[in-house]
Amino acid sequence: MAYQDLREFIRKLEKEDELKRISTEVDPVLEITEITDRVTKAGGPALLFERPKGSKMPLLINMLGSHRRVNLALEVSGLSEVAERIQSYVNFQSPQGLFNKLKMLPKLAEIGAFFPKTVKSGPCKEVIRKDGFSLHEFPILKCWPQDGGRFITWPLVITKNPETGRRNVGIYRMQVEGERETGMHWQTQKHGAEHFRRARSKFGEGKLEVAVAIGSDPVTCLAGALPVPPDMDEMMFAVFLRREPVEMVACETLDLEVPANAEIVLEGTVDLNEFRTEGPFGDHTGFYSLAGDYPVFRVQCITQRKDPIYLTTIVGPPPQEDFFIGHAIERIFLPVMRMQYPEIVDISMPAEGIFHNLMIVAIRKSYPGQARKIMNAIWSLGQAMFTKVIVVVDHDVDVQHHREVVWKTLCAIDPERDVQFVLGPVDTLDHAARVQDFGSKMGIDATRKWPTEGFTRPWPDQIAMDPAVKAHVDQLWKTLGWKP
Protein backbone atom coordinates (compact mmCIF):
# COMPACT_ATOMS: atom_id res chain seq x y z
CA MET A 1 0.00 0.00 0.00
CA ALA A 2 1.38 3.37 -0.98
CA TYR A 3 1.64 6.05 1.69
CA GLN A 4 -1.68 7.85 1.96
CA ASP A 5 -0.15 11.19 2.85
CA LEU A 6 2.82 13.02 4.28
CA ARG A 7 2.03 12.13 7.87
CA GLU A 8 1.86 8.44 7.16
CA PHE A 9 5.35 8.69 5.70
CA ILE A 10 6.48 10.66 8.76
CA ARG A 11 5.24 7.83 10.97
CA LYS A 12 7.16 5.34 8.82
CA LEU A 13 10.33 7.42 9.05
CA GLU A 14 9.96 7.60 12.80
CA LYS A 15 9.54 3.84 13.03
CA GLU A 16 12.63 3.33 10.91
CA ASP A 17 14.65 5.74 13.07
CA GLU A 18 14.90 8.10 10.11
CA LEU A 19 13.26 11.12 11.73
CA LYS A 20 14.28 13.49 14.49
CA ARG A 21 11.79 15.76 16.18
CA ILE A 22 13.14 19.12 17.28
CA SER A 23 11.05 20.73 20.00
CA THR A 24 13.37 23.71 20.60
CA GLU A 25 12.18 26.90 18.94
CA VAL A 26 14.27 27.45 15.80
CA ASP A 27 14.13 30.37 13.38
CA PRO A 28 13.12 29.61 9.77
CA VAL A 29 15.32 32.55 8.91
CA LEU A 30 18.75 30.95 8.33
CA GLU A 31 18.82 28.75 11.46
CA ILE A 32 16.83 25.84 10.03
CA THR A 33 19.14 25.87 6.99
CA GLU A 34 22.27 25.73 9.12
CA ILE A 35 20.94 22.77 11.11
CA THR A 36 19.66 20.93 8.04
CA ASP A 37 22.86 21.51 6.07
CA ARG A 38 24.91 19.92 8.84
CA VAL A 39 22.51 17.00 9.22
CA THR A 40 22.26 16.21 5.49
CA LYS A 41 26.03 16.35 5.04
CA ALA A 42 26.46 14.01 8.02
CA GLY A 43 24.00 11.50 6.52
CA GLY A 44 21.45 12.27 9.23
CA PRO A 45 17.67 11.88 9.46
CA ALA A 46 14.66 13.85 8.29
CA LEU A 47 13.90 16.71 10.67
CA LEU A 48 10.53 17.71 12.05
CA PHE A 49 10.82 21.19 13.55
CA GLU A 50 7.89 21.33 15.94
CA ARG A 51 8.28 24.99 16.86
CA PRO A 52 9.52 27.07 13.96
CA LYS A 53 9.77 30.64 15.26
CA GLY A 54 6.86 32.87 14.28
CA SER A 55 4.56 30.08 13.11
CA LYS A 56 2.09 27.70 14.68
CA MET A 57 2.74 24.77 12.39
CA PRO A 58 5.53 22.19 12.28
CA LEU A 59 8.00 22.03 9.43
CA LEU A 60 9.41 18.91 7.78
CA ILE A 61 12.75 19.04 5.99
CA ASN A 62 15.37 16.58 4.69
CA MET A 63 12.53 14.10 4.03
CA LEU A 64 14.35 12.48 1.10
CA GLY A 65 17.88 13.48 2.11
CA SER A 66 19.39 9.99 1.96
CA HIS A 67 19.33 7.03 -0.40
CA ARG A 68 17.57 4.98 2.28
CA ARG A 69 14.73 7.46 2.71
CA VAL A 70 14.26 7.66 -1.06
CA ASN A 71 13.95 3.86 -1.08
CA LEU A 72 11.47 4.00 1.79
CA ALA A 73 9.45 6.61 -0.10
CA LEU A 74 9.35 4.45 -3.21
CA GLU A 75 8.84 1.30 -1.10
CA VAL A 76 11.74 -0.55 -2.69
CA SER A 77 14.94 -1.99 -1.30
CA GLY A 78 16.95 -0.41 -4.12
CA LEU A 79 16.34 1.88 -7.09
CA SER A 80 17.16 -0.98 -9.44
CA GLU A 81 13.72 -2.39 -8.53
CA VAL A 82 12.05 0.68 -10.00
CA ALA A 83 14.36 0.57 -13.03
CA GLU A 84 13.47 -3.10 -13.60
CA ARG A 85 9.77 -2.34 -13.44
CA ILE A 86 10.21 0.39 -16.01
CA GLN A 87 12.35 -1.94 -18.09
CA SER A 88 9.55 -4.50 -18.12
CA TYR A 89 7.25 -1.90 -19.70
CA VAL A 90 9.94 -0.76 -22.09
CA ASN A 91 10.26 -4.40 -23.24
CA PHE A 92 6.53 -4.64 -23.50
CA GLN A 93 5.78 -5.79 -27.05
CA SER A 94 2.74 -7.29 -28.61
CA PRO A 95 3.20 -10.92 -27.57
CA GLN A 96 2.86 -13.84 -29.97
CA GLY A 97 0.38 -16.61 -29.20
CA LEU A 98 -2.76 -16.67 -27.08
CA PHE A 99 -1.03 -17.93 -23.94
CA ASN A 100 1.50 -15.12 -23.99
CA LYS A 101 -1.24 -12.61 -24.69
CA LEU A 102 -3.16 -13.84 -21.65
CA LYS A 103 -0.05 -13.60 -19.52
CA MET A 104 0.11 -9.92 -20.42
CA LEU A 105 -3.38 -9.17 -19.11
CA PRO A 106 -2.37 -8.23 -15.57
CA LYS A 107 0.23 -5.87 -17.00
CA LEU A 108 -2.39 -4.24 -19.21
CA ALA A 109 -4.67 -3.84 -16.23
CA GLU A 110 -1.79 -2.21 -14.41
CA ILE A 111 -1.29 0.22 -17.30
CA GLY A 112 -5.01 1.03 -17.20
CA ALA A 113 -4.66 1.87 -13.54
CA PHE A 114 -2.04 4.56 -14.15
CA PHE A 115 -4.56 7.36 -14.13
CA PRO A 116 -5.06 9.66 -11.17
CA LYS A 117 -8.49 9.32 -9.64
CA THR A 118 -10.82 12.25 -9.15
CA VAL A 119 -12.48 12.36 -5.73
CA LYS A 120 -15.13 14.69 -4.32
CA SER A 121 -13.24 15.89 -1.29
CA GLY A 122 -10.19 15.22 0.82
CA PRO A 123 -8.14 16.30 3.82
CA CYS A 124 -6.78 19.35 1.97
CA LYS A 125 -10.30 20.83 2.25
CA GLU A 126 -10.59 20.71 6.03
CA VAL A 127 -10.16 24.48 6.22
CA ILE A 128 -11.12 26.70 3.28
CA ARG A 129 -10.37 30.42 3.34
CA LYS A 130 -11.03 32.93 0.60
CA ASP A 131 -10.08 35.82 2.83
CA GLY A 132 -8.48 36.45 6.17
CA PHE A 133 -5.33 34.51 5.34
CA SER A 134 -1.67 35.42 5.04
CA LEU A 135 1.40 33.58 3.74
CA HIS A 136 3.17 34.80 6.88
CA GLU A 137 1.29 32.10 8.82
CA PHE A 138 3.57 29.49 7.28
CA PRO A 139 7.13 28.86 8.50
CA ILE A 140 8.64 29.77 5.13
CA LEU A 141 12.42 29.69 5.07
CA LYS A 142 14.88 32.36 4.32
CA CYS A 143 17.58 29.89 3.40
CA TRP A 144 20.85 31.78 2.98
CA PRO A 145 22.10 35.23 4.05
CA GLN A 146 21.95 36.95 0.64
CA ASP A 147 18.56 35.49 -0.34
CA GLY A 148 16.10 38.11 -1.59
CA GLY A 149 13.51 36.98 0.95
CA ARG A 150 11.65 33.90 2.12
CA PHE A 151 11.09 31.12 -0.41
CA ILE A 152 8.59 28.28 -0.65
CA THR A 153 11.06 25.65 -1.85
CA TRP A 154 8.95 22.51 -2.37
CA PRO A 155 5.71 23.62 -4.03
CA LEU A 156 3.97 21.39 -6.56
CA VAL A 157 3.01 24.02 -9.11
CA ILE A 158 0.04 22.88 -11.16
CA THR A 159 -1.07 24.47 -14.43
CA LYS A 160 -2.93 23.45 -17.58
CA ASN A 161 -1.64 23.92 -21.10
CA PRO A 162 -4.10 26.51 -22.44
CA GLU A 163 -4.07 24.83 -25.86
CA THR A 164 -4.24 21.13 -25.04
CA GLY A 165 -5.76 21.29 -21.57
CA ARG A 166 -3.05 18.91 -20.35
CA ARG A 167 -1.84 19.23 -16.79
CA ASN A 168 1.71 19.97 -15.73
CA VAL A 169 3.23 19.65 -12.27
CA GLY A 170 6.63 21.17 -11.55
CA ILE A 171 8.61 22.27 -8.52
CA TYR A 172 9.42 25.94 -9.01
CA ARG A 173 10.48 27.99 -6.01
CA MET A 174 8.27 30.87 -4.94
CA GLN A 175 9.62 33.98 -3.28
CA VAL A 176 7.14 35.41 -0.79
CA GLU A 177 6.29 39.07 -1.23
CA GLY A 178 3.76 40.37 1.22
CA GLU A 179 0.85 38.39 2.55
CA ARG A 180 -0.61 37.08 -0.71
CA GLU A 181 1.98 37.34 -3.44
CA THR A 182 4.98 35.35 -4.52
CA GLY A 183 7.35 35.13 -7.45
CA MET A 184 7.03 32.16 -9.81
CA HIS A 185 10.48 30.92 -10.73
CA TRP A 186 9.72 28.65 -13.66
CA GLN A 187 12.85 28.73 -15.76
CA THR A 188 12.37 29.47 -19.42
CA GLN A 189 12.68 25.88 -20.72
CA LYS A 190 10.32 24.41 -18.11
CA HIS A 191 6.73 23.41 -18.82
CA GLY A 192 5.13 25.92 -16.45
CA ALA A 193 6.90 28.72 -18.33
CA GLU A 194 5.67 27.24 -21.61
CA HIS A 195 2.07 27.24 -20.36
CA PHE A 196 2.53 30.87 -19.39
CA ARG A 197 3.87 31.74 -22.87
CA ARG A 198 1.07 29.82 -24.62
CA ALA A 199 -1.53 31.68 -22.56
CA ARG A 200 0.14 34.99 -23.41
CA SER A 201 0.11 34.30 -27.12
CA LYS A 202 -3.44 32.95 -27.05
CA PHE A 203 -5.09 35.58 -24.86
CA GLY A 204 -2.63 38.49 -24.87
CA GLU A 205 -3.79 39.57 -21.46
CA GLY A 206 -5.53 38.16 -18.44
CA LYS A 207 -4.42 35.51 -16.03
CA LEU A 208 -3.21 31.93 -15.95
CA GLU A 209 -4.72 29.78 -13.20
CA VAL A 210 -2.14 28.20 -10.92
CA ALA A 211 -2.62 25.81 -8.01
CA VAL A 212 0.19 25.04 -5.59
CA ALA A 213 0.17 21.97 -3.36
CA ILE A 214 2.59 21.80 -0.45
CA GLY A 215 3.21 18.46 1.30
CA SER A 216 1.68 15.24 -0.03
CA ASP A 217 2.63 11.57 0.02
CA PRO A 218 6.38 11.37 -0.71
CA VAL A 219 6.12 9.98 -4.26
CA THR A 220 3.69 12.70 -5.34
CA CYS A 221 6.10 15.27 -3.87
CA LEU A 222 8.98 13.69 -5.80
CA ALA A 223 6.96 13.57 -9.01
CA GLY A 224 7.07 17.36 -9.29
CA ALA A 225 10.76 17.08 -10.14
CA LEU A 226 10.45 14.35 -12.80
CA PRO A 227 11.70 15.43 -16.23
CA VAL A 228 8.84 13.86 -18.20
CA PRO A 229 8.04 15.10 -21.74
CA PRO A 230 5.79 18.10 -22.26
CA ASP A 231 2.07 17.33 -22.04
CA MET A 232 2.71 14.15 -20.08
CA ASP A 233 1.10 14.47 -16.67
CA GLU A 234 3.61 14.00 -13.84
CA MET A 235 0.72 12.64 -11.76
CA MET A 236 0.48 9.63 -14.08
CA PHE A 237 4.11 8.90 -13.35
CA ALA A 238 3.39 9.33 -9.65
CA VAL A 239 0.66 6.70 -9.98
CA PHE A 240 3.07 4.36 -11.76
CA LEU A 241 5.66 4.81 -9.01
CA ARG A 242 3.14 4.49 -6.16
CA ARG A 243 1.40 1.53 -7.82
CA GLU A 244 -1.79 3.14 -6.61
CA PRO A 245 -3.79 6.10 -7.94
CA VAL A 246 -3.14 9.60 -6.73
CA GLU A 247 -6.46 11.08 -5.62
CA MET A 248 -7.11 14.49 -7.12
CA VAL A 249 -9.74 16.95 -6.00
CA ALA A 250 -11.11 20.05 -7.73
CA CYS A 251 -9.92 23.44 -6.55
CA GLU A 252 -12.42 25.82 -4.94
CA THR A 253 -11.77 28.77 -7.23
CA LEU A 254 -9.90 27.31 -10.23
CA ASP A 255 -10.48 24.84 -13.03
CA LEU A 256 -7.60 22.72 -11.73
CA GLU A 257 -7.21 19.67 -9.54
CA VAL A 258 -4.78 19.12 -6.69
CA PRO A 259 -3.72 16.04 -4.70
CA ALA A 260 -6.52 15.53 -2.16
CA ASN A 261 -4.03 14.45 0.49
CA ALA A 262 -2.07 17.74 0.34
CA GLU A 263 -1.25 19.50 3.58
CA ILE A 264 -1.72 22.99 2.13
CA VAL A 265 -3.06 24.25 -1.21
CA LEU A 266 -2.63 27.78 -2.53
CA GLU A 267 -5.09 28.71 -5.27
CA GLY A 268 -4.37 31.73 -7.39
CA THR A 269 -3.37 33.24 -10.68
CA VAL A 270 -0.40 34.60 -12.54
CA ASP A 271 -1.02 37.81 -14.51
CA LEU A 272 0.14 37.32 -18.09
CA ASN A 273 1.77 40.74 -18.22
CA GLU A 274 3.28 41.24 -14.82
CA PHE A 275 6.92 40.58 -13.97
CA ARG A 276 8.90 41.36 -10.89
CA THR A 277 12.44 40.93 -9.67
CA GLU A 278 12.96 37.51 -8.11
CA GLY A 279 16.05 36.39 -6.19
CA PRO A 280 18.88 36.27 -5.47
CA PHE A 281 18.60 32.78 -4.01
CA GLY A 282 21.28 30.49 -2.57
CA ASP A 283 20.96 27.76 -5.18
CA HIS A 284 21.94 24.14 -5.70
CA THR A 285 25.04 25.23 -7.60
CA GLY A 286 26.41 26.28 -4.21
CA PHE A 287 26.29 29.89 -5.42
CA TYR A 288 23.56 32.50 -5.41
CA SER A 289 21.46 32.51 -8.54
CA LEU A 290 21.17 36.08 -9.72
CA ALA A 291 18.04 38.16 -9.41
CA GLY A 292 15.88 38.15 -12.54
CA ASP A 293 12.40 39.03 -13.78
CA TYR A 294 9.72 36.40 -13.19
CA PRO A 295 5.91 36.30 -13.14
CA VAL A 296 3.95 37.10 -9.99
CA PHE A 297 1.60 34.60 -8.32
CA ARG A 298 -1.39 36.01 -6.40
CA VAL A 299 -3.09 33.76 -3.87
CA GLN A 300 -6.90 34.04 -3.79
CA CYS A 301 -7.79 31.04 -1.65
CA ILE A 302 -6.04 28.70 0.76
CA THR A 303 -7.33 25.24 1.53
CA GLN A 304 -5.54 23.11 4.07
CA ARG A 305 -5.72 20.52 6.80
CA LYS A 306 -6.69 21.60 10.31
CA ASP A 307 -3.17 20.89 11.51
CA PRO A 308 -0.97 21.18 8.43
CA ILE A 309 2.68 20.21 8.26
CA TYR A 310 4.77 22.54 6.11
CA LEU A 311 7.13 20.59 3.84
CA THR A 312 10.27 22.30 2.63
CA THR A 313 13.84 21.65 1.55
CA ILE A 314 17.02 23.62 1.09
CA VAL A 315 19.53 23.69 -1.71
CA GLY A 316 23.09 24.97 -1.42
CA PRO A 317 26.65 23.65 -1.55
CA PRO A 318 26.33 19.96 -2.54
CA PRO A 319 25.37 17.44 -1.42
CA GLN A 320 21.89 18.47 -0.32
CA GLU A 321 18.53 16.71 -0.34
CA ASP A 322 18.09 17.44 -4.05
CA PHE A 323 21.12 15.26 -4.83
CA PHE A 324 19.24 12.20 -3.54
CA ILE A 325 16.12 13.23 -5.45
CA GLY A 326 18.20 13.75 -8.60
CA HIS A 327 19.95 10.43 -8.16
CA ALA A 328 16.60 8.65 -7.96
CA ILE A 329 15.51 10.40 -11.17
CA GLU A 330 18.78 9.37 -12.86
CA ARG A 331 18.20 5.70 -11.98
CA ILE A 332 14.48 5.76 -12.86
CA PHE A 333 15.09 7.29 -16.29
CA LEU A 334 18.15 5.26 -17.28
CA PRO A 335 16.01 2.43 -18.77
CA VAL A 336 14.11 5.02 -20.77
CA MET A 337 17.38 6.42 -22.15
CA ARG A 338 18.55 2.92 -22.96
CA MET A 339 15.36 2.20 -24.86
CA GLN A 340 16.34 4.89 -27.34
CA TYR A 341 20.11 4.37 -27.07
CA PRO A 342 20.79 0.73 -26.18
CA GLU A 343 24.56 1.25 -26.41
CA ILE A 344 24.39 3.13 -23.09
CA VAL A 345 25.61 0.80 -20.35
CA ASP A 346 25.42 3.15 -17.39
CA ILE A 347 25.51 6.83 -16.51
CA SER A 348 26.58 8.80 -13.47
CA MET A 349 26.02 12.36 -12.35
CA PRO A 350 28.31 13.08 -9.40
CA ALA A 351 26.89 15.32 -6.65
CA GLU A 352 29.55 17.95 -7.33
CA GLY A 353 28.34 18.20 -10.91
CA ILE A 354 24.90 19.33 -9.62
CA PHE A 355 23.15 17.38 -12.41
CA HIS A 356 23.58 19.70 -15.32
CA ASN A 357 27.33 20.25 -15.10
CA LEU A 358 28.64 16.71 -15.53
CA MET A 359 27.35 13.42 -16.90
CA ILE A 360 29.59 10.40 -17.29
CA VAL A 361 28.29 7.87 -19.79
CA ALA A 362 29.62 4.38 -20.49
CA ILE A 363 28.78 2.97 -23.92
CA ARG A 364 29.35 -0.27 -25.75
CA LYS A 365 30.93 1.19 -28.85
CA SER A 366 30.29 -0.62 -32.10
CA TYR A 367 30.96 1.93 -34.83
CA PRO A 368 33.24 4.90 -35.36
CA GLY A 369 32.11 8.21 -33.87
CA GLN A 370 29.50 6.62 -31.62
CA ALA A 371 30.71 8.49 -28.53
CA ARG A 372 30.00 11.77 -30.30
CA LYS A 373 26.61 10.53 -31.40
CA ILE A 374 25.72 9.83 -27.78
CA MET A 375 26.83 13.32 -26.71
CA ASN A 376 24.55 14.85 -29.31
CA ALA A 377 21.74 12.52 -28.30
CA ILE A 378 22.03 13.60 -24.66
CA TRP A 379 22.10 17.27 -25.64
CA SER A 380 18.74 16.73 -27.31
CA LEU A 381 17.15 14.62 -24.58
CA GLY A 382 14.74 16.60 -22.37
CA GLN A 383 16.44 18.36 -19.50
CA ALA A 384 19.68 16.46 -20.23
CA MET A 385 20.12 19.18 -22.88
CA PHE A 386 21.59 21.30 -20.10
CA THR A 387 24.55 18.97 -19.51
CA LYS A 388 27.60 21.21 -19.59
CA VAL A 389 30.20 18.46 -19.74
CA ILE A 390 29.61 14.95 -21.02
CA VAL A 391 32.34 12.35 -20.66
CA VAL A 392 31.86 9.20 -22.73
CA VAL A 393 33.86 6.16 -21.71
CA ASP A 394 33.99 2.53 -22.84
CA HIS A 395 31.69 -0.08 -21.32
CA ASP A 396 34.48 -1.52 -19.16
CA VAL A 397 34.85 1.70 -17.16
CA ASP A 398 32.75 1.74 -14.00
CA VAL A 399 31.14 5.18 -14.15
CA GLN A 400 30.01 4.90 -10.53
CA HIS A 401 33.67 4.98 -9.45
CA HIS A 402 34.70 8.51 -10.13
CA ARG A 403 38.38 7.88 -9.41
CA GLU A 404 38.43 5.20 -12.08
CA VAL A 405 36.70 7.60 -14.47
CA VAL A 406 39.26 10.38 -13.88
CA TRP A 407 42.16 7.96 -14.29
CA LYS A 408 40.94 6.25 -17.43
CA THR A 409 39.51 9.35 -19.07
CA LEU A 410 42.71 11.29 -18.72
CA CYS A 411 44.70 8.35 -20.08
CA ALA A 412 42.37 7.91 -23.04
CA ILE A 413 42.24 11.38 -24.48
CA ASP A 414 44.26 13.43 -26.89
CA PRO A 415 42.56 16.65 -25.80
CA GLU A 416 42.68 18.51 -29.08
CA ARG A 417 41.28 15.52 -30.93
CA ASP A 418 38.75 14.24 -28.39
CA VAL A 419 37.08 17.36 -27.04
CA GLN A 420 34.06 18.77 -28.82
CA PHE A 421 32.24 22.03 -28.16
CA VAL A 422 28.66 22.81 -29.08
CA LEU A 423 26.40 25.78 -28.52
CA GLY A 424 22.86 25.53 -27.23
CA PRO A 425 20.48 26.02 -24.33
CA VAL A 426 22.10 25.92 -20.90
CA ASP A 427 20.61 25.85 -17.43
CA THR A 428 19.25 29.19 -16.23
CA LEU A 429 21.31 28.74 -13.06
CA ASP A 430 24.60 28.57 -14.99
CA HIS A 431 26.18 31.85 -13.91
CA ALA A 432 29.25 31.33 -16.10
CA ALA A 433 27.37 31.19 -19.40
CA ARG A 434 27.96 34.16 -21.73
CA VAL A 435 24.29 35.09 -21.48
CA GLN A 436 21.53 33.60 -19.36
CA ASP A 437 20.10 30.36 -20.82
CA PHE A 438 22.49 30.13 -23.80
CA GLY A 439 26.08 28.97 -23.96
CA SER A 440 28.54 26.26 -24.82
CA LYS A 441 28.81 22.66 -23.78
CA MET A 442 31.72 20.25 -23.96
CA GLY A 443 31.89 16.58 -24.81
CA ILE A 444 34.92 14.45 -24.09
CA ASP A 445 35.29 11.26 -26.09
CA ALA A 446 37.28 9.10 -23.69
CA THR A 447 36.61 5.82 -25.48
CA ARG A 448 39.44 3.83 -27.02
CA LYS A 449 40.18 5.20 -30.46
CA TRP A 450 39.89 2.82 -33.38
CA PRO A 451 41.79 2.57 -36.66
CA THR A 452 38.48 3.36 -38.38
CA GLU A 453 38.50 6.63 -36.44
CA GLY A 454 41.93 7.42 -37.84
CA PHE A 455 43.94 6.15 -34.87
CA THR A 456 46.58 3.78 -36.20
CA ARG A 457 48.83 3.31 -33.17
CA PRO A 458 48.36 0.20 -31.02
CA TRP A 459 46.15 0.69 -27.90
CA PRO A 460 47.76 -0.94 -24.85
CA ASP A 461 46.04 -3.40 -22.53
CA GLN A 462 45.18 -2.31 -19.03
CA ILE A 463 47.54 -3.84 -16.46
CA ALA A 464 46.17 -6.84 -14.58
CA MET A 465 48.08 -9.50 -12.64
CA ASP A 466 48.15 -13.09 -13.83
CA PRO A 467 45.28 -14.92 -12.02
CA ALA A 468 47.45 -17.92 -11.12
CA VAL A 469 50.02 -15.67 -9.48
CA LYS A 470 47.23 -13.89 -7.59
CA ALA A 471 45.88 -17.18 -6.29
CA HIS A 472 49.35 -18.28 -5.22
CA VAL A 473 50.01 -15.02 -3.42
CA ASP A 474 46.64 -15.34 -1.66
CA GLN A 475 47.95 -18.58 -0.17
CA LEU A 476 51.35 -17.12 0.54
CA TRP A 477 49.79 -14.24 2.36
CA LYS A 478 48.55 -16.44 5.13
CA THR A 479 52.19 -17.19 6.03
CA LEU A 480 53.23 -13.53 6.05
CA GLY A 481 51.55 -12.89 9.37
CA TRP A 482 50.05 -9.48 8.57
CA LYS A 483 46.97 -8.11 6.93
CA PRO A 484 47.38 -6.38 3.57
Ligand X SMILES: Cc1cc2nc3c(=O)[nH]c(=O)nc-3n(C[C@H](O)[C@H](O)[C@H](O)COP(=O)(O)O)c2cc1C
168 binds Mn ion (CB under 5 A): yes
Q: Which of residues 224-253 bind ligand X (CB under 6 A)?
A: 224-227
58 binds, among Mn ion, ligand X, none (CB under 5 to 8 A by kind): none
- Catalytic residue status for 283: yes
- Give the list of residues 6+ apart from residue 239 with CB closer than 8 angstroms, or none: 113, 114, 115, 116, 245, 246
Phi, psi (deg, nearest 5) at residue 300: -115, -15
How far lies 157's CA from each of 186, 231, 249, 258, 386, in Å? Answer: 9, 15, 15, 10, 22
Q: Where does this chain touch Mn ion (CB under 5 A) — which range of 58-66, 187-195, 281-289, 316-324? A: 187-195
Residue 433's Cβ-count burial label (10 Å; 0-12, 13-18, 19+) is middle
327 binds ligand X (CB under 6 A): no
Q: Among residues 69, 125, 190, 338, which is the contact residue for ligand X, using CB under 6 A?
A: 190
Q: Among residues 3, 138, 144, 172, which is the contact residue for ligand X, using CB under 6 A?
A: 172
Query: Of the candidates 53, 14, 13, which has an alpha carbon nearest to the alpha carbon of residue 32?
Result: 53
Q: From CA 122, how far away is CA 229, in angstroms rounded?
A: 29
Q: From CA 474, how far away is CA 145, in angstroms rounded?
A: 57
In the set 147, 217, 233, 283, the catalytic residue is 283
Q: Among residues 133, 144, 186, 310, which is the contact residue for ligand X, using CB under 6 A?
A: 186
173 binds, among ligand X, Mn ion, none (CB under 5 to 8 A by kind): ligand X
Q: Which is nearer to ligand X, 194 or 394 (CB)?
A: 194
195 binds Mn ion (CB under 5 A): no
Number of residues that bind ligand X (CB under 6 A): 21
Largest Cα–Cα distance of the chain, in whole Å?
Answer: 84
Query: Of the candidates 13, 29, 36, 7, which has an alpha carbon nearest to the alpha carbon of residue 322?
Result: 36
Q: Which is nearer to Mn ion, 191 or 284 (CB)?
A: 191
Q: Among residues 18, 147, 177, 322, which is the contact residue for ligand X, using CB under 6 A?
A: 322
Q: From CA 188, how far away is CA 18, in angstroms rounded?
A: 37
168 binds ligand X (CB under 6 A): yes
173 binds ligand X (CB under 6 A): yes
289 binds ligand X (CB under 6 A): no
191 binds Mn ion (CB under 5 A): yes
225 binds, among Mn ion, ligand X, none (CB under 5 to 8 A by kind): ligand X
191 binds ligand X (CB under 6 A): yes
Q: Among residues 182, 383, 387, 447, which is the contact residue for ligand X, using CB under 6 A?
A: 383
Q: Which is nearer to ligand X, 122 or 155 (CB)?
A: 155
Task: Work out whether strand 264-278 and strand 207-214 pair parallel, antiparallel, or are unpaired.
Answer: antiparallel
Residue 462's Cβ-count burial label (10 Å; 0-12, 13-18, 19+) is exposed
- Give the list of residues 6+ apart from residue 238 with CB closer than 8 angstroms, or none: 116, 219, 220, 222, 223, 246
Q: Is the peptide bond before 368 cis (omega within 30 degrees of 0)?
A: no
Is residue 249 classed as helix, strand or coil in its secondary structure?
A: strand
- State in angstroms the smallest separation of the CB of 392 from ligand X: 24
384 binds ligand X (CB under 6 A): no
Q: What's the helix, strand, coil split of the chain in %, to 5?
A: 35, 25, 40
159 binds Mn ion (CB under 5 A): no
- State in angstroms the smallest separation of the CB of 172 from Mn ion: 11
Q: Which is nearer to ligand X, 143 or 363 (CB)?
A: 143
- State in angstroms the smallest separation of the CB of 166 from ligand X: 11
357 binds, among Mn ion, ligand X, none (CB under 5 to 8 A by kind): none
- State in angstroms the smallest separation of the CB of 23 from ligand X: 26
How far lies 397's CA from each of 64, 333, 345, 361, 392, in Å? Answer: 29, 21, 10, 9, 10
Q: Which residues bind ligand X (CB under 6 A)?
A: 153-154, 168, 170-173, 185-187, 190-192, 224-227, 313, 322, 325, 383
Catalytic residue ranges: 283
